[in-house]
Amino acid sequence: MWKNSIGEVTVQLSDHNGKSRTRMIVDENDIPSIEFLDGDGKMIYKVPPGSMNTLEI
């Protein structure tokens, strides 16, 4: 877990080769997201999808 320079907090899960495959992020506005990555580190799916400025529950 770490916090970057713009205030995002990230937890990362890696595969058995040490490559990042899943990231859980809470951004600087406290909006959570989960990103799934392929073997090259490219994002293939994001929850919630797309860019969101607000999260409605």
Q: Is residue 22 part of a domain?
A: yes
Q: Domain of residue 6: give its range.
A: 2-47
Q: Is residue 33 part of a domain?
A: yes
Query: pLDDT per residue over 14-43, tens digit each?
Result: 999 999 999 999 999 999 999 999 999 999
Report the C-alpha dihedral over residues 46, 48, 6, 42, rounded to 10 degrees: 10
Q: Is residue 32 part of a domain?
A: yes
Q: Is residue 54 part of a domain?
A: no
Structural domain count of the chain: 1
What's this model's pTM, rounded to 2 decimal places?
0.75
Name the pLDDT band for 50 (thresholds 50, 70, 90). low
Token pair listed for 39: 């073997």
Q: Is residue 55 part of a domain?
A: no
Q: Is residue 42 part of a domain?
A: yes
Q: Is residue 53 part of a domain?
A: no
Count the neighbouring beta carbons within 10 Å of the beta carbon of residue 25. Answer: 16
Q: Is residue 17 part of a domain?
A: yes
Nearest to 21 by CA among 32, 10, 13: 13
